[in-house]
Amino acid sequence: MPEEPDGVVIYWRPLCTYCLKLLTQLRFTHLQYSKVNIWRDPDAAAFVRSVADGNETVPTVTVAGRSMVNPSKRELLEAVEAYAPHLLGKPAD
């Protein structure tokens, strides 16, 4: 599991339509984040269960160490603005 205490980590799994939707929406932002496939990382799956009432609900996202289960793009970007604004980046000129 990546250790990014000040970053954004998206925990996802293949075939998850909610994950695909969020990741597709984030392509149109300048947000810097890392992704962790919970099917390939047992520790990541255990972490997701620990914050999602024992379920492997994805996407689960951490923003500067704060967990969000299945956030919308808006909720995620609001959390980033509040806790890790340096990750939003700026568009290229």
pLDDT at 25 over 90: yes
Q: Which residue has the higher pLDDT, 82 or 90?
A: 82
CATH number at residue 49: 3.40.30.10
pLDDT at 46 over 90: yes
pLDDT at 93: 42
Residue 84 lies in a domain: no
CA 25, 31, 35: angle at the middle one, nearest 5? Answer: 75
Expressed as residue numbers, the domain containing 27 is 8-72
Number of domains present in the structure of the chain: 1
Residue 24 lies in a domain: yes
Residue 18 lies in a domain: yes
Residue 36 lies in a domain: yes
- C-alpha to C-alpha distance for 46 and 23, rounded to whole angstroms: 22
Residue 47 lies in a domain: yes
pLDDT at 92 over 60: no
54-87 pLDDT tens trace: 999 999 999 999 999 999 999 999 999 999 998 8
Average pLDDT over residues 8-30: 95
pLDDT at 52: 96
Q: Verify cis geometry, omega within 30 degrees of 0, for the bond prior to 59.
A: yes
Residue 85 lies in a domain: no
